[in-house]
């Protein structure tokens, strides 16, 4: 649970003044944001000050000159002050403002992004942390052999059991994880901590938001993206992982655990504010899902092209030694001040509808995050298997007034194909999934795709099955089908004397 009373503190290195960023203006801006702000002399060369100055803070933001990596020395001093590694951010003001035509404006925007991200922190539990040793950055000496590398922490996801639909057959997180770190046992999703790389792909893939990874939660990423659009004044949005340094120039860096955790919704909302780029750390990538990311980018590009717009989407940018080289994007008008959710069932559809407006288009694409369940009413027996296996509720089943109804809501369909796998009549073509976007279908809302009469028990009045189901059974069993026993009596009454 997010604590509205949390203390957000910003430690500002006074040396940023020498880099052309007036400290007084930055302090005034932070005070307007309602956060505690302190200036520390020579904070960058003497970071041990963090251990004392950060005491009592729930969320800590250290505004440095050029240092951008949170893991290591800076994080260690923050931990000594009692700050969780998941509640710690580093904003290298001098680095990110290099090459920007309005550096103070960008510095203020970057601080606002960090503050709003901090306020969106959902809270963490000990099981969300996993320690690891940082790789040594220098040649090993004989003396160094007797010392350990610096200890840091990675966030790992935990499963919110009340939201998880694993009991109903949902395996989205299991199928998405590139390292087989998630397993299903008896309807419960289990995490193999030693296999998890904290890429966050499973968190963004879960339609029920049942996977929680504080520090990289969808709420935090959304808050930072929303702030980038509101304060960035039309600058480009660059999604970067912890292995990549925040870029300079007219780009606002939105931090994600991995490029694979950037959803289509996040990309489309970002495009409403200007240019978009996604950094890729190549061999250091935590997921190895490069093709998935490229497919999403291509889908967004194809969608905007279909709308007659000129998408400013930079192809996946490979990092060199932790840095990405981005072109100067065209500065756009100020982006939207608020955006919808970037993860969970319905998030991608909301972003697509927000972007397309009244346009009608149909776009089939392998990178599309949505789909349409195409039901053949002549083959469907309304057994309800598809509806009960659907992890998002896109397919629904209900009985009323002596009839059975199968319905479909396109905005909730993630094209997972679980409905097809569970359908006993799939070989007859009762249901299929079309991957793509059809804006007309998205706007229709929930609609009935199949219906049939319910046959009731002649003895007690309880439901037996749909007429189509009984007809199908008769066709399968032939002479073995007993109309009297199977079609006219419910399961409870079949054992009673006729």
Q: Which tens digits make up the pLDDT trace of 442-463? A: 999 999 999 999 988 888 878 8
Q: Which residues pair with 276 in a beta bridge?
A: 237, 313
Cα 174 vs. chain centroid, distance in angstroms?
Answer: 15
**Cβ(221)–Cβ(267) under 8 Å?**
no
**Of 169, 325, 303, which Cα lies nearest the Cα of 248?**
325
Alpha helices in 18-171 (DSSP H): 23-32, 50-53, 73-80, 93-97, 103-119
**Which tokens go with 149?**
């590398």
Is 491's pLDDT higher than 70? yes
Rounded to 5°, angle at Cα 448 from 447 and 449: 110
Mean pLDDT of 236-262: 94
Q: How far apart are CA 45 and CA 285, in angstroms?
A: 30
313: which DSSP letter?
B
The proportion of the chain whose per-residue pLDDT surpasses 90, expressed as a percent, equals: 71
Backbone angles phi, psi at 382, to 5 degrees: 55, 45
Tell me what pLDDT residue 144 has.
Answer: 47
pLDDT given for residue 497 in this prediction: 61
Residue 334: its pLDDT value, please?
A: 61
User: What is the tally of helices (H) and strands (E) in the chain?
Assistant: 15, 21
- The confidence band for 145, taking pLDDT boundaries of 50, 70 and 90, is very low
Residues 153-169 have a mean pLDDT of 92
Residues of the chain with CATH 3.40.50: 1-123
Domain 1-123, CATH class in plain words: alpha beta
- Name the H helices within 400-466: 418-422, 439-444
Q: Is the pLDDT score of 337 beyond 90? A: no
**pLDDT 10s digits, 465-489:** 899 998 898 888 888 877 666 778 7
Q: d(Cα 367, Cα 220) in Å, to the nearest integer?
A: 25
Q: Helix, strand or coil for residue 141?
A: coil
Mean pLDDT on 44-61: 94
Task: List, in order, residues 6 or more apart from 8 with CB less than 8 Å away.
Answer: 35, 36, 57, 58, 59, 61, 115, 118, 119
Kindly state the percentage of the chain with pLDDT values over 70. Answer: 93
pLDDT tier at 496, thresholds 50, 70, 90: low
In terms of pLDDT, which residue wins out, 497 or 360?
A: 360
Q: 10 Å Cβ neighbour count for 169?
A: 17
Q: What integer is the mean pLDDT of 99-115?
A: 96
Residue 327 three-state SS: coil
Predicted pLDDT of residue 140: 46
**CA–CA separation, 252 vs 246, rounded Å?**
8
3 state SS of 483 = helix
Write down the pLDDT at residue 479.
80
- Decide if pLDDT at 137 tops 60: no
Weakest-pLDDT range from 58-67, 91-100, 312-321? 312-321
Instruction: Please tell me what DSSP assigns to residue 17.
Output: G
**CA–CA distance from 177 to each of 109, 146, 204, 347, 409 (Å)?**
34, 37, 11, 20, 27
**Residue ranges, CATH 3.30.70.20, the chain:** 370-498
Confidence of residue 138 (pLDDT cuts 50, 70, 90): very low
SS3 for 347?
Answer: helix
pLDDT: which is higher, 147 or 45: 45
- Is 90 exceeded by the pLDDT of residue 385? yes
Instruction: Name the average pLDDT for the chain.
Output: 90
Say how far apart CA 490 and CA 191 lie, in whole Å.
43
Averaged pLDDT, 388-405: 94
Higher pLDDT, 239 or 140: 239
Buried b (16+ CB within 10 A) or exposed e, 327-351: eebebbeebeeebbbbbbbbbbbbb
Write down the architecture of domain 370-498 according to CATH: 2-Layer Sandwich (3.30)
pLDDT at 162 over 50: yes
379 closest CA partner among 444, 478, 477, 475: 475
């Amino acid at each position: 649970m997010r604590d509205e009373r949390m203390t957000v503190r910003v430690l500002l290195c006074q040396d940023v003044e020498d880099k052309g960023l007036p400290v007084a203006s930055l302090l005034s801006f932070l005070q307007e944001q309602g956060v505690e702000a302190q200036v520390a002399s020579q904070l960058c060369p003497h970071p041990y000050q963090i251990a004392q100055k950060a005491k009592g803070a729930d969320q800590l933001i250290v505004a440095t000159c050029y240092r951008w990596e949170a893991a290591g020395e800076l994080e260690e001093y923050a931990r000594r002050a009692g700050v969780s590694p998941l509640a710690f951010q580093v904003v290298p003001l001098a680095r990110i403002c290099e090459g920007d035509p309005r550096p103070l404006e960008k510095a203020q925007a970057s601080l606002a992004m960090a503050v709003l991200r901090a306020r969106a922190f959902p809270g963490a539990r000990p099981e969300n942390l996993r320690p690891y040793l940082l790789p040594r950055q220098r040649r090993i000496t004989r003396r160094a052999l007797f010392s350990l590398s610096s200890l840091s922490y990675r966030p790992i996801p935990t499963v919110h059991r009340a939201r998880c639909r694993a009991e109903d057959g949902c395996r989205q997180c299991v199928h998405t994880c590139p390292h087989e770190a998630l397993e299903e046992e008896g309807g419960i999703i289990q995490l193999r901590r030693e296999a998890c790389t904290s890429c966050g792909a499973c968190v963004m893939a879960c339609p029920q938001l049942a996977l929680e990874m504080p520090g990289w939660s969808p709420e935090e990423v959304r808050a930072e993206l929303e702030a980038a659009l509101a304060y960035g004044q039309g600058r480009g949005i660059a999604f970067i992982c912890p292995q990549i340094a925040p870029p300079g120039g007219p780009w606002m860096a939105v931090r994600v655990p991995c490029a694979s955790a950037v959803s289509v919704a996040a990309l489309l909302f970002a495009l409403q504010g200007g240019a978009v780029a996604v950094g890729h750390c190549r061999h250091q990538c935590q997921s190895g899902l490069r093709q998935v990311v490229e497919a999403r980018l291509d889908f967004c590009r194809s969608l905007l092209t279909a709308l007659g717009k000129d998408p400013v989407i930079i192809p996946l940018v490979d990092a060199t030694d932790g840095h990405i080289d981005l072109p100067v994007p065209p500065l756009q008008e100020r982006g939207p001040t608020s955006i919808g959710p970037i993860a969970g069932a319905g998030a991608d559809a909301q972003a697509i509808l927000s972007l397309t407006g009244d346009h009608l288009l149909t776009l089939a694409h392998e990178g599309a995050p949505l789909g349409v369940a195409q039901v053949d009413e002549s083959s469907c027996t309304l057994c309800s298997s598809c509806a009960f296996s659907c992890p998002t509720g896109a397919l629904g089943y209900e009985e009323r007034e002596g009839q059975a109804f199968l319905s479909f809501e396109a905005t909730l369909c993630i094209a997972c194909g679980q409905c097809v796998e569970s359908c006993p009549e799939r070989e007859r073509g009762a249901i299929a999934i079309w991957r793509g976007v059809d804006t007309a279908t998205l706007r229709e809302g929930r609609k009935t795709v199949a219906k049939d009469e319910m046959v009731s028990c002649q003895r007690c009045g309880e439901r037996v099955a749909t007429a189509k189901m009984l007809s199908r059974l008769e066709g399968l069993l032939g002479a073995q089908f007993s109309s009297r026993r199977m079609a006219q009596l419910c399961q409870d009454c079949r054992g009673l004397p006729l």
